[in-house]
Structure formats: C-alpha cells, structure tokens
Structure 1
C-alpha cells in the first residue's frame, strides 16, 4: 500500500511488512526502529504513517472463535468478512459503520461507529485485545483490567493489536426506508423524535434547506413513518451523495434483509461512497443537537463549494478514554468533502469555530484542525502515561500523533 484509500497522501515508510503469524508480527516489531500499523487505509490524515516499518495485517491467518456472547477474531479482518461469518453462526454485531470495507481494529482504534440513540461505538464491544508491545512481547488486556479502557481507542499508539474479542448478539433482520426532502426546520424542531424513530437513523444534508433521512428498523420493532415531518417516502433508491449510482447502496424501500446488509450504507462488493474524497467528523453532546444543527446550517454558503454531503447521526456514550463519545451521548456531524485539501482545511476552521461552544471532539482518523484535542478528554493524561508505559522509547509514535501530545 503506497497511498491511503482516498489517495490524498503517500505513506513515507521505508519498509512494509506483511506478517503471516503472530510470531512474525513480534519479529517485525522487535526489528523496527519505528513502526505503525495500517488497516484498510481508510484514514484521511497521516495517523497511520511512519518513516520506519509500516505493518499490514492483511496476510494474517483468519481467526473466528465463538464464545459465550462474544467472538474472538483476527484484528485485521474486514468487517464485511466478519459479518458474513457471524450471520452464518446466527450472530450479529449490534452496530455497523457506513462502510463494511474497513478492518475491525481500524474501526475500534478510532472509535468508529454506526448510528442510533442506543448504539455506542464499535470500541465499546471489545472484551479483550491481544497486543504486541514495543519490545515484541504479546500481552492480553481484558475489560476490567487497569488501562483497558485506554487501550482500545489508541489509534495505533500502544503497539500492534493482533486479535480482539467482541460482544455479539443474536442475528436480526432490518428494513431500510428513506424519507426525502425533510424540511430542515422540521429536523431541528423534532430532532429527538426523528433520531429516535428507528434502530439506526442517519440524516444526509448539504445544509441548504432539506435532509434525506435513512431510517433502519429491526423487523421486530414498530416502524415509525416520518412523513408527518413533511418528508416524502422514497419510491426509488437514494444514494447518500447526490448524483452517485444507487447500485452501490444497500437495499432500501423497506425490503427486509440481514443486519449486515442493511445497517451499512454501502455494499461490500462496490467502491463505497465516491472513492476519491476527504472526510471529517465532529461529535458534540446530544443535548446540543438542535443548536449545533442551526449553527452549521448558517454556514451552508461557505461549506457548499467543497461539500459532497454531510451525515448527521446519534451515538450512545461509551467508556473508552479517548472515544469521541466517552461519557456523553452524542450527535455526530460527518462531512464528505471534495478532494481539495487546502480548501477543505480552510472550511474546517470555520466549522470548528461554530461548533466550539459545545466542545466538539474530532474523529481521530479524519481531517481536523483543532489544536488541542487532548484538552477535550478528562483521561488524556492517563492515556499519555499508558503510552509511556507500553512504548517508553516511542517506537509507535509519529509526527501527527506526537503533535497532539506536545502541542
């Protein structure tokens, strides 16, 4: 892998390692002066970059061990593959992000998430993780252990996670319906009712007066029709990004199907979203949803020239020290940008300024300009201490991440 998924930067590693066993991971770590791990390359910043050895887990053997209410899997497994195997075993993850193409550990390490008032990040599902530390030792950290809540969302800074154990639930079916052109005022004034209307709800908008709402209901739940908001039930499939082919999207129009074929927005066998794009995401406390929506709506004219679409969704709180939803149910504002880095960064500063009253926390794997991310987390110093304990010589550091700790 020479570039990230979006193609907006080239990795600077002098060596790439593709270990085929845990023993080879340990050897690669011991031999490296500096190292980072790359998953699917779906980060939009240099968070996974290194001048040393870039370790990819794409050739590691598959692991799939069903336990009592959990499953243990290889950390580099793609979510789509895990979902297929879980569903065949009658099991499910309670949450799925928009894209099933990404790796399990990449999603967990950045607190990537699905949507739903009662659904926390994927990181909250982790029961244990097997970690190769800077000295090549293999350690297991489990829920309840000291430091565990700091080790899951660690953006690759503590070592190489080679396996994770995740909470699972019985498999379930979902139907997805889209409500077009919901008046923006109706979304703001009824924000709790709209986002509480289904198991998973996403509102897509360009901040110019309307939103398309994707409501994903479990087939065993009562379905709440959103036409009362002034939105129109879609009669044909809708892509979250205007103008893109709907063939790439998961089935809509109320056709029931397995959880993993409905909760993501995009099908695993197609290029997700639009391919070449940039992304950012900010999380604020759930209680500030209406005010934050209005503030971003007022910025529409400045955002529009570089925006493809925005997704708004809710997420339950979790316990992970550096999760953007740590300790607070949140609403997330996701931005899919045109591939123009300079123009996007200029707009990001304006987005961050209007969200500043509500102390926004950024998604770690996406673009942001906030100079003080650590100040937004009560456990930042605890994480810094854990980082120093597990990686005292800084083998897994890089320029971007170090800047968060020294800036």
Structure 2
C-alpha cells in the first residue's frame, strides 16, 4: 500500500521520513513503540497540517477490516480505517443505522471522530458523540481501550490524534430508517433572520448554501426522516427546485444524493455526496467556524457585512447546526452551535485574505474553528473558548509525556510536552 505524499486537497505536502501502512495491530504497535515522532493519516481530508509528521506517518487503512454490529446492544465495533460509506452499507444490511453522517461518505471513521466532524440537525450531535469506546495504541506500543464512563473518556474521543493511534471504535447505532430530501431555492435572508430557528428545525437535517452575494440563500437542503407529506411548491418565500441540484454553482448534480423527495436509505440521503463520485467539487480548500446557536443571526449579519471580502475566494458556503455535547475538544462542547462552512477556490493567497475577513467578523462570538480545516486564529484565541483545555493538556501529559504524537500543529496549540 502506497501512502499519498499530500493531503486530499494537495495544499499540504507531508514531510515524513517514513510512511507506514501496517497490516496488523501488532505491526502497528512495533512501529509506534520504535518511533519518536508519529502521526496517523485517515482519509487525508484535512486541509491543514494536523496529520503531518517529520518522522513516521502511519495509515490504519490497511489494518484488518472489522465491522461487528450488535443490534441487541445497539452498538457496532468498527476498525478505524473504514470509511463511513463502507460502514453504512454493512450496517444497513443488518437493519441498523448511525444517527447522522457528514456531507461526504468518503471520510474515515477515526479521522472524522478525532476532529469532531459532524453533519447537521438541531438535535444531532457530531459523529463523535456516537462513540462508546476507543481502542488505541499509546506511545509505548500498548493497546488500550477507554470506555464511555471513564473519567478521561470525554478527552479521548476528539483528541486530534495526539493521544495515540486509534485502531478501532465502538459506536452507538439505532434501527435503520429512510430519508426524503428536497431542495428549495431563493430563501430570503430577511426571512432567515426572523425565523432562523424555524428554518433550521424544519427537517431532521437542514443545510443552507449561500455564495454571500445576494439577499437570498441560494439553496436549502431539507432531509426529512421517515414518511410525511410531500413538500409544498413554495416555503417561506423559497421555491421547490424542479430537478436535482449540486450546491456548488455550475457543477452537475450527478455526484449528489437523491433529491425530489424520492425515499432512500439513511446512508443514501444524509450525506450530500455519493460514495462512488469525487467528493464535493474536488478542487477546493475549506474552512469552518462554530458559534453558539443563540448568536446565529448576529454572526450571520457580521459575515454578511464583509461579504465583498468573502465572495471572491468562495465556491459556496454552507450553514448548518450541531447539537451540544460533552467532548472536551469538540467545537460544540457545552453549546448548541451553528456552523459556518466555506468551500474556497484553491487559491492560497485569496483564501488567506478571506479567512482573515471571516475571523475578524466572528471575533466577538467565541468562534471555534474546525480542527481539520484552514484557519489562522491564534492558539490563545482558540483556547479561550474551551473550558476543558487544561484538562486535555493534562491528559496529553499522562498519555504521551515524551511528545511522540505532538507534531507542530499539536505543539502550537497545546505545547511541546
């Protein structure tokens, strides 16, 4: 197995001296125990150097593939390198489902959970909130399991790969279900401001797409769980799309999941994109910021005020909600959130200017950046919005006193150890 020299977007070139793709957990343990600087690579879908290493870069995709559903216990044990699209297909055949999925089914289970990647829905926690147990190889090569209920558990799920190499996860599951998806176009932003909570609670999962260029939201994607009536032709001033849509202007809709209210399995509707197509637009950079849902309209207005600095670098922006959780480094820790996501053109200089505008607009809202995406916030500013920051630093010291898993990204935010 050959590891890629860059991340998925190509904006990060990995500097590792050695690349590893172990075929067994025992082989992985030997690699970690012998390493001095070790990082793990998931699907490569991060847009910053969070996975980079100057020593050993390890992929867990080659470890034995394991999916062990237990409908009676309401769990599934899954190997870390599995992609969500692969896991979902196995679960669905067993009559089971996950509570939510991200926009892309291409991402790895362990990588998504480690960075609190999420999906949408006012009542839906991010993907990491389904984790019941974490299995990982620590810096000395030991294999340990940390279960929900352990005092350190809330710090070990969203851990940025800084505590060890995750080899497997046990996730909560529920009975499989169907979803119907509709797309509306042209929601007036005045209506969104007045009825934000109503809009975002209109379906099991709701996403808004805007180019920050007009006074209307370009598209509203509604993912309705189960049955119910067909969607009306107009809704809050928006018009039901007359055919399938892609959220990025000018892109054909074929890579997107089924729309027009056609019922589909949960894993064929909750993501925006299909597993058998190139994710999203394929050539992009991404940023995302989480603010308290109570501040959603004020944050929207602050971003709208700098739209002329955002729009030139932008392909599309997505606005979605994530329910509060108790995971120490989750951007939704202890607060229901609205997430402002930006898919940028692959122009590093233009993106840097736009990111500065976004971060300036959101500076009064204790914004938390997505750990795996492009951001420029100072570590001090990020730290201030996480009440359990020092508890995680303590956990780092306990799990990895020598700093085996602390690359430059981790050290910049949490110290070198």
TM-score under structure 1 length normalisation? 0.98
- The correspondence of residues 52-71 of structure 1 with structure 2, limited to 5 A, is 52-67=55-70, 68-71=73-76
Alignment partner, residue 401 of structure 1: 410
Q: Is the 8 A contact 2:230 2:261 kept in 1?
A: no
Q: Distance in 2 between matches of 1:224 and 1:115?
A: 20
Alignment partner, residue 178 of structure 1: 183
Alignment partner, residue 36 of structure 1: 39
- The correspondence of residues 149-298 of structure 1 with structure 2, limited to 5 A, is 149-208=154-213, 209-211=215-217, 212-220=219-227, 225=232, 227-298=234-305
Aligned residue among 12, 16, 20 for 2:15: 12
- The correspondence of residues 353-372 of structure 1 with structure 2, limited to 5 A, is 353-371=360-378, 372=380
Distance 1:33-1:340 versus aligned 2 partners, 3 A rule: same
Matched residue of 2:395: which SS?
Answer: helix
Q: Is the 8 A contact 2:182 2:231 kept in 1?
A: no
Q: Distance in 2 between matches of 1:53 and 1:226?
A: 55
Alignment partner, residue 92 of structure 1: 97
The reply to whether residue 348 of structure 1 matches residue 355 of structure 2 is: yes
Q: Distance in 2 between matches of 1:104 and 1:55?
A: 16
Q: Is 178-187 or 119-128 further displaced after alignment?
A: 178-187
Aligned residue among 119, 130, 139 for 1:134: 139
Q: Distance in 2 between matches of 1:85 and 1:321?
A: 30
| Per-residue deviation, 1:228 | 3.3
The reply to whether residue 50 of structure 1 matches residue 53 of structure 2 is: yes
| Per-residue deviation, 1:224 | 6.3
Q: Distance in 1 between matches of 2:329 and 2:96?
A: 28
| Per-residue deviation, 1:219 | 2.2
Distance 1:225-1:406 versus aligned 2 partners, 3 A rule: farther
Q: Is the 8 A contact 1:198 1:223 kept in 2?
A: no
Consecutive aligned runs of 4 or more in structure 1 exceeding 3 Å deviation:
220-226
Q: Distance in 1 between matches of 2:96 and 2:134?
A: 20
Distance 1:222-1:290 versus aligned 2 partners, 3 A rule: farther
Q: How many residues align?
A: 407
Residue-by-residue CA offset, 1:197-229 (whole Å, 9 max, x unaligned):
000000000112221100000123566658231
Q: Which runs of 5+ in 2 are unaligned?
A: none
Alignment partner, residue 385 of structure 1: 394
Q: Is the 8 A contact 1:74 1:163 kept in 2?
A: yes
Q: Distance in 2 between matches of 1:49 and 1:370?
A: 19
TM-score under structure 2 length normalisation? 0.96
